[in-house]
Homo-oligomer: A and B are copies of this chain.
């Protein structure tokens, strides 16, 4: 590959001039520009991205950081990715998807700063080392989902109104007549589970019902798949507490597990068991009979807004911690109904 020196030599000017022709950071007379461009073309010259980045300390690449342990790229993530990609596209940025297993990242020979101008962090958890790290190195970030407490005021983030959303669905179920509502929540450590849990409890309390701790379960962070957890947990709880008439599941995968448990127990949905999931995921929808009542999270908007915030932050003189909440809507399909006596 030809280098800038070759071009400089070929066109009889200095490197600096060639550089300016390409970067347009300094005016170069028309004739020189043409001469350089011609030489570059005949040599098949293209500036070296790495060298350019090193010298200019900027890459025009943004990162999407998924927690290493979970490479579970579901519909939500894909939709989110779509939003992110679109904004990247419009603004001339490339997107680097960070996909390094913890095994790799922990090796000495692999540690290094991330090769991006800024990053979007997905799925924050309670003690999320990633945030501290970025803050320390001055890397601009935007989090999708609420960052853990200590950082909430320091970093920009985009989120759904999780508490409100959980309250809304709980209220909906209560209005249908349910009182014993099992909540199969996201892992304890995920900040989202806390918010949704709070919304659920609030709605119960507001309706004069006492939230029972044993009716809220959290998926383990690792281990079991969402589907397996949904199945096992629902099965166990439904057997232990025959009063339960409704289940709120974290994801549609989990809801699928609940469907399976219901089938195993001979419970008809929605007549004998109402099921809900925080998901507008339709990939699985053919699997669901009856169709799953859920919520529209607008993951693509989450992604787009996050990237927008990140871009703002890159261009801003001084950064401020902004928050964007993306509204959600209940999508009522066929899996929730007024409760009937079990076994009827």
Contacts and interface: CB of A to CB of B under 8 A. Distances in A.
Interface string A88-101: 11101111111111
Interface of A: 1, 21-24, 37, 44, 46-54, 59, 61, 71, 73, 75, 78, 81-82, 85-86, 88-90, 92-101, 104, 108-115, 136-138, 282-286, 291
A111 B4 CA distance: 13
A220 to B, nearest CB: 21
A82 B285 CA distance: 19
A97 B87 CA distance: 13
8 contacts: A22-B111, A44-B137, A73-B78, A81-B81, A90-B101, A94-B97, A95-B96, A282-B285
B108 A24 contact: yes
A104 to B, nearest CB: 4
Nearest to A71: B89
Interface centre among A52, A54, A138 (most CB of B within 10 A): A54
A85 B100 contact: no
Contact of A88 (B46, B99, B111): B99
Contacts of A82: 73
B285 A137 contact: no
A308 to B, nearest CB: 15
Nearest to A116: B49
A319 B140 CA distance: 40
